[in-house]
A = this chain, B = another copy of it.
Amino acid sequence: MNDTLQTLYNHVSVRNYTDQKISKEVLDQILAAACSGSTMGNMQLFSIIVTEDDEMKKKMAPLHFNQPMATQAPVILTFCADFNRFNRFCEFRDADTEAYSNMQSYHWAVIDALIAAQNACVAAESLGLGFCWLGTITYNVDKFIEVLNLPKHVIPVACIPMGYPQVKPEKTLKLPVEAMIHRETYHDYDKVAIGKLYAEKECCEETKQILEENNLDNLAKVFTQCRYTKKDNEAFAKVLMDALRKQGFLSDL
């Protein structure tokens, strides 16, 4: 097996970092890798905000619900769907600046931002760094827009603190690969199939502990009643839709 596959297979999320800084050389290699991926229509519809300053980390910490990774990591990379730069190009060349104020254009910019983000992650792991995706960027999108000074047509979609791992954790238990694969067309899942695919997750020691702590009888309820509830998701969805409107991606609706 080649080194790249090895890097991909060995991925684990790392939430604790040593004091070691990330050198300019290493950071530049990661940023160059981020910018080497495919981009929709070769338009480069993304931007990367590099956070190294402690004051900026402190400002963002509460928006990340004070997760320690957000202040402990030497570098945080925030990947944005960005149609502003391309719109500026259009503006300064007397081309139509209203062509990309819609969800289709946003979608393409999201794809570009996430290709760049995952490339950065793969590069970072190949260089011995650890990282962790922070879902909080999608919750408080409006406040991040303010703190990061993002203009119209720019929306943050991924936030990834990086640093050298204190300890390399065990791999997380995931669904088996076959759970995600469909041949030719989608096959839906019946109760037996779900039982089989989730068996290992439902029976592991970690799940047993979580159920006891939360006084719940199964893992699905941990998600719907504690971690990611309807009420929270709908509130965050409203924040996201409002941000999409404010940033100019719903102007055709």
Contacts and interface: CB of A to CB of B under 8 A. Distances in A.
Interface of A: 1-5, 7-9, 11, 13, 29, 31-44, 46-53, 56, 80, 82, 84-86, 88-90, 92-96, 98-100, 102-105, 107-108, 110-111, 114-119, 121-123, 126-127, 132-133, 135, 138-139, 147-151, 154, 157-158, 172-175, 177, 179-186, 188-189, 191, 194-195, 197-198, 218-221, 223-225, 227-230, 233-234, 236-238, 240-241, 252-253
Contacts of A195: 92
A219 to B, nearest CB: 7
Contact of A31 (B40, B174, B181, B253): B181
Given A49-B184, A50-B184, A233-B102, A43 B95 contact: no
Contact of A8 (B80, B82, B122): B122
Nearest to A252: B234
Contacts of A13: 38
State the oligomeric state as a number of copies: 2
A197 B223 CA distance: 46
Contact of A99 (B149, B197, B230): B230
Contacts of A29: 1, 5
Contacts of A95: 218, 220-221, 223-225
B102 A237 contact: yes
A234 B106 CA distance: 11
Contacts of A80: 186
Nearest to A35: B177
Contacts of A47: 180-182, 186
A91 to B, nearest CB: 8
B224 A253 contact: no
A9 B32 contact: yes
Q: 6 closest Cβ contacts across the A-B interface?
A: A4-B126, A93-B220, A95-B220, A102-B237, A114-B114, A118-B118
A239 to B, nearest CB: 8
Contacts of A123: 4-5, 8
